[in-house]
Amino acid sequence: MIRTIVTAALLAATLAVPAFAADRPVLKSEALVTGGVVRVGDLIDNAGYIANVAIFRAPDLGATGIVPADAVVEAVRAHALVGLDTNGLTEVVVTRAAREIPVADVEAAVARSLSTRFNLGEPKEITVLFERDPRSVQVEPNAKGEPRVARIAYDPRSGKFDAALEIPTGPTGFSTLRLSGKAAVTADVVTLSRAVDRGVVIKATDIVVERRPRAEIGREIVTSREQVIGFAAKQNLRPGQTLRAADLMKPEAVQRNETVTLIYEVPGISLSVRGKAAEGGAEGDLISVLNEQSKRTVQGTIVGPGRVVISTGAPRLAANLTPAQSK
């Protein structure tokens, strides 16, 4: 009887230990597992016939845990695996594989449901804010499908909603995630990232596009970057300020009190003199300019930086000529 037991033990040990040293069981430094348990083969190369034996509980989905090397050695000893080479390791890093469902996908599912069930407009125009900031959802790597709204209630006066979402957990299963918060139809508005002084040209780096409730947005509010970039501030603007069309103007080509070239143009004749701008303006604006030669203030059109044109319909006769002499 004793001989039979010894023989069986030796046979088990022989089966568990690989025939060649090169194929002996070796502890891994890292392991990526699927499912709720950690198996011998997840932690040990060349584990032989016990590779599929479960020995530890796996970390949560998407999480990482540490298993001491001594704990692995102790766990496999009961399964007749001997000669394990720990490879000098003191621990094994175990990560449970998962597929992440981002918060943005959950928000999009709620927005789509509100759009179709309550006629709130296009989903991209609906901003969803949860009462508690949800985290991304971790599911099994083989989970099929995307989050979908099973039930939702919405109060149009307060904007509050309560929703039950079905989250895929495996090839066919779902779990229920309950969420509540507020939703509003929003639109893009352009705000400033820094203070901008009057007359300063606004650059792309000076602006931020945000979503704001449409009910708070008037017709004069600027809603696109193209309406702002390259224009100048009509008055001092503060950081975070929502921009209106009335806050912007074309960049000033002439500054007040700036010395300009005053160009008198009549058919066939062009005369340039120095002038001093009595006011600033953008290209195309009509401004007053002091003719420094005649000391008279005239009005002209800005045609470029530092250039103002005075146009008349017909040439004027020189002061020292009479009509008879001009023929």
Task: Give pLDDT tens digits for 211-251.
Answer: 888 877 877 888 888 889 988 898 899 998 889 888 998 88
Long-range contacts, 316-319 (Cβ 8 Å, 24+)? 316/266
Q: Render pLDDT for 132-189 as a digit per residue (tens, 0 to 9).
A: 877 888 999 988 888 999 999 999 889 999 999 999 987 778 899 999 999 999 888 9
Architecture of domain 253-311: Roll (2.30)
Architecture of domain 2-97: Sandwich (2.60)
pLDDT at 21: 54
Poorest-confidence range of 17-21, 206-210, 223-227, 288-292? Answer: 17-21
Same fold for the pair 188-251 and 253-311: no
Long-range contacts, 269-272 (Cβ 8 Å, 24+)? 269/315
pLDDT at 9: 41
Query: What are the start-end ranges of the H helices in the chain?
Result: 2-16, 40-43, 69-77, 103-118
Strand pairing of 259-266 and 307-311?
Answer: parallel
Poorest-confidence range of 64-78, 207-221, 249-263? Answer: 207-221
> What is the pLDDT confidence band of residue 43, given thresholds at 50, 70 and 90?
very high
Q: Would you say residue 39 has pLDDT above 80?
A: yes
Q: For residue 179, give every residue at least 6 positions away whose Cβ sits within 8 Å of its Cβ, in sequence order, or none.
A: 106, 110, 130, 131, 134, 162, 163, 165
At 211, the amino acid letter reads R
pTM of the predicted protein model:
0.57
pLDDT at 22: 60
Q: For residue 27, give every residue at least 6 positions away whose Cβ sits within 8 Å of its Cβ, in sequence order, or none.
A: 43, 44, 69, 72, 84, 85, 86, 87, 89, 92
* 90 vs 169 pLDDT, higher one: 90
Query: What are the start-end ranges of the H helices in 167-266?
Result: none
Report angle CA 316, 319, 324 to the nearest 5 degrees: 80
> What is each CA distance from 182 to 40, 154, 158, 162, in whole angstroms?
48, 9, 8, 9
Q: Would you say residue 60 has pLDDT above 90?
A: yes
What is the spatial distance between Cα 102 and Cα 89, in angstroms, rounded to a whole number?
35
Domain coordinates of the chain in residue numbers? Answer: 2-97, 101-186, 188-251, 253-311
> Quick one: average pLDDT of 78-86?
86
Instruction: Determine the topology of domain 188-251 in CATH.
Output: Type Iii Antifreeze Protein Isoform Hplc 12 (3.90.1210)
